[in-house]
Chain A
Amino acid sequence: MARTLLKRILQAIGVMLGVALILFIMLRIVPGNPVETLMGEHANQATVDRMTAELGLDQPILVQFFRYIGDAFRGEFGTSYSLGKPVSQLMAAAFGNTLKLTVAAVLFAWCLGIFCGVFAALRKDGIPDRLFMGFSLLGVSVPVFMVAMLLQYLFGYVLHWLPISGTDSWKGYILPAIALGWNSAGSIARLVRSTLLDVLQEDYIDTARAKGLGQMGVIWRHALRNTMLPVLTMMAMQFSGLLSGAVITETVFSINGIGRLAVQAISGRDIPLLQGTTLFATMVVIFGNLLADCLYSVLDPRIRKEAE
């Protein structure tokens, strides 16, 4: 067990280094001296040279790479060209918002997904089943920003229930979380439904029924517990997708998160910021997957046994 875990951790570190390398190469291929862009209209050659040296851009590419890896380990990502602040400081402020948004989205997706999935499974082939499953398909096929905008319109503009943008209070997270979690909720609902349909046919459910537990008791106590594991796995797998969605959601709702920073970095041709945010987001995904793996092996007795 410990060995499998160690192997996974080493693997994850390897992937992290690979990500850093690929990102570094991609951003260095971009033509043009970033310093000139940074200095704007009144740059003279002396200043450009001085800045180039200050940023270490005159060093050999390999030296630059190792310096950047070293800096990244210490949490240093340079200074943003467009926002004039250290990237680490900008990301520290933004990460909290992204984290809150993603957690809220996961919670929403989990609650709605399980609820709809159970409902649909209990009424298999009935109207609620078809309705929920059709709805979940619809969610998957509409672009995220469209969902986000419709939510803004309905709950912010027409009903005046929730703020249209900003995160001044927790209420500001409700609509973004729904927009972001929508997609996952659909997948979870379908997964819960199919898993539950399988589980409900197992013998022990019959046993439980025979012991006199009510329908709801059976579902909650046995069936649902058994659907947790696949749902958990899927959530871990969807983490990367959630961060992708967060880029769009944060832009629509003007949330100062990692995704919006990345979008800003693109329009400002801000390499340190783009490098920092992309690297960081990818690290989070890798870490999330690793964590899910560990959780999985701890939670699932079969895997634990196999590993031993």
Chain B
Amino acid sequence: MNRKKKIDQIVRTAGLESQIGEAQTFGTMMRRMVRENKLAVISFGVIILFVLAAVFAPLLTPYTYDEMDLANRLAPPSAAHLLGTDEGGRDVFTRLLYGARVSLLIGIVPTLLSMAIGAALGILAGFAGGKTDTVIMRIADVMLAFPSILLAMVLMYMLGDGLINIFLTLSIVNWASVARVVRAETLRLKELEYVEAARVTGVSRSKILLRHILPNCIPTLIVLFTLNVPSSILTESGLSFLGLGVQPPAASWGLMVNQGRQYLYTAPWLSFAPCVAIMLTVLAFNFLGDGLRDVMDPHLQK
């Protein structure tokens, strides 16, 4: 729920952002982040590393993620198996690499989807106002009222398992909070002088939307992205824990933690390895998000 607090902070500080004017380009912001926030840069590096590992998984390991070796169950870490083997004799390191594919996809795809939906509806609500605004925001209120895991459970129950359904579920769970933030941002941008001026001079609504509102929402969206990815990964691990996530022998980090948990006391590497991977990813995205917010948020700059 840390995410919510951060979103609120963004909303709060968003109101102050207009003071710095629009002089700051994305490039200068990034340069400042590289200069001032080493932690964010390291985090970015960690994320890239994970992505590369996921993409090139087959090149990094001689094993496949689902090949069992029953004679070699729960083998401790060794030279042949860097992180040991799991209950089916599968190489844990290999599964970690392939699991990165699934987990990062689960982090990124639904987040992009929910941001696309949320941003579209948020901008629409903020820009159109009136009844449209009321309807969209009331639906968002309703979605936000559900405890997220319960909503995800009901959706998974409704849709059945499978990766696509996990994407859909997580998108539906997350879009409302995005819509809320983007709407607030749109409302603020709408009041800015130059947008006002454009409107008075007869620039069409769609042009204002595309030229002025949408581009200015992007920094907010980037920050939201870095905060929503870890929350999606954590939600999926929760679903996997309840048996509603990815199904074996496929691998996701959440599933691996869950599968390994009964061996926590006899073969701890099974759970710890994916758990550390989740932690690092979540932390990296959080730090990167913090870093991005710092350079995009004048209130905290000084």
Smallest CB gap from A278: residue in B: B150
Check if A240 sits within 8 Å of B145, measured CB to CB. Answer: yes
Least CB distance from B231 to A in Å reads: 10
Closest Cβ neighbor of B8 among chain A residues: A237
A89 at the interface (CB under 8 A from B): no
B257 contacts across to A, CB distance below 8 A:
143, 145-146
- The secondary structure that dominates the A interface is helix
Q: Are B279 and A142 in contact (CB under 8 A)?
A: yes
Cβ A244 vs Cβ B150 within 8 A? yes
Shortest C-beta distance, A171 to chain B (Å), equals 22
Give bound CA distance, A191 to B149, whole Å. Answer: 25
Write out, one digit per residue, whether chain B residues 218-239 have a CB within 8 A of any chain A CB (1) or not (0): 0000000000001000100110
B265-A153 in contact (CB<8A): yes
B264 touches A149 (CB 8 A): yes
Q: Does A5 interact with chain B (Cβ within 8 Å)?
A: no
A282 touches B279 (CB 8 A): no
Q: Which one of B138, B254, B265, B278 contacts A18 once the chains associate, using CB atoms below 8 Å?
A: B138
Question: Given A143-B238, A143-B257, A274-B157, A243–B138 Cβ distance below 8 Å?
Answer: no
Rounded to whole Å, the gap between the CB of B142 and the closest CB of chain A is 4
For residue A238, CB closer than 8 A to chain B, the reply is: yes
Contact A22 B142 (CB under 8 A): yes
- Please give, as numbers and ranges, the residues of chain A lying within 8 Å of B230 by CB-CB distance: 141
> Which residue of A is nearest B280, CB measured?
A141
Q: Could you give, for residues 105-136 of chain B, a 1 whenever the CB lies within 8 Å of some chain A CB and a 0 otherwise?
A: 00000000000000000000000000000000
Q: How many residues of B contact A (CB 8 A)?
A: 45
Cα–Cα, bound, A32→B264 (Å): 39
B209 within 8 Å of A by Cβ? Answer: no
Cβ contact within 8 Å between A237 and B4: yes
Interface presence of B56 (CB below 8 A)? no
A144 adjacent to B238 (CB under 8 Å): yes
Q: CB within 8 Å of B: which of A140-190?
A: 140-146, 149, 153, 157, 183-184, 186-187
At the interface, yes or no: A297 with Cβ under 8 Å from chain B? no
Residue A285, interface by CB 8 Å? yes
| Interfacial residues of chain B within 260-302, with CB under 8 A of chain A in the complex | 261, 264-265, 271, 275, 278-279, 282-283, 286
Q: What are the residues of chain B within 8 A of A237 when measuring CB–CB? A: 1, 4-5, 8
> B166 at interface (Cβ–Cβ under 8 A)?
no
CB neighbours of B5 from chain A (8 A)? 187, 191, 234, 237
**Closest Cβ neighbor of B142 among chain A residues:** A18
A266 sits at the interface (CB 8 A):
yes
Decide yes or no whether A200 CB sits under 8 A from chain B: no
Asked if B278 and A141 make an inter-chain contact with CB atoms under 8 angstroms apart, the answer reads yes
Give Cα distance in the complex from A16 to B141, angstroms.
10
Question: Interface readout for B143-160 with A: 1 if CB under 8 Å, 0 if not?
Answer: 111111111011111100
Which residues on the A side are within 8 Å of B141 (C-beta)?
Answer: 11, 15, 18
* Residues 16-63 of A contacting B (Cβ, < 8 Å): 16, 18-19, 22-23, 26-27, 29-30
Residue of A nearest to B6 (CB): A187
Which residues of A lie under 8 Å from residue B155 when comparing CB positions? 26
The residues of A that contact B261 with a CB separation of less than 8 Å are 145-146, 149
Which 4 pairs of residues, A with B, have the shortest CB-CB distance? A241-B1, A18-B142, A141-B282, A244-B149
Instruction: Give 7 A-B pairs besides A143-B238, A244-B149 with Cβ atoms closer than 8 angstroms.
Output: A19-B145, A137-B283, A137-B286, A145-B261, A240-B146, A269-B157, A285-B147
A-B contact pairs, 17 of them (CB 8 A): A14-B138, A15-B138, A15-B145, A141-B230, A141-B282, A153-B265, A237-B1, A237-B5, A238-B1, A240-B145, A240-B148, A245-B149, A266-B157, A278-B150, A278-B153, A282-B145, A285-B146
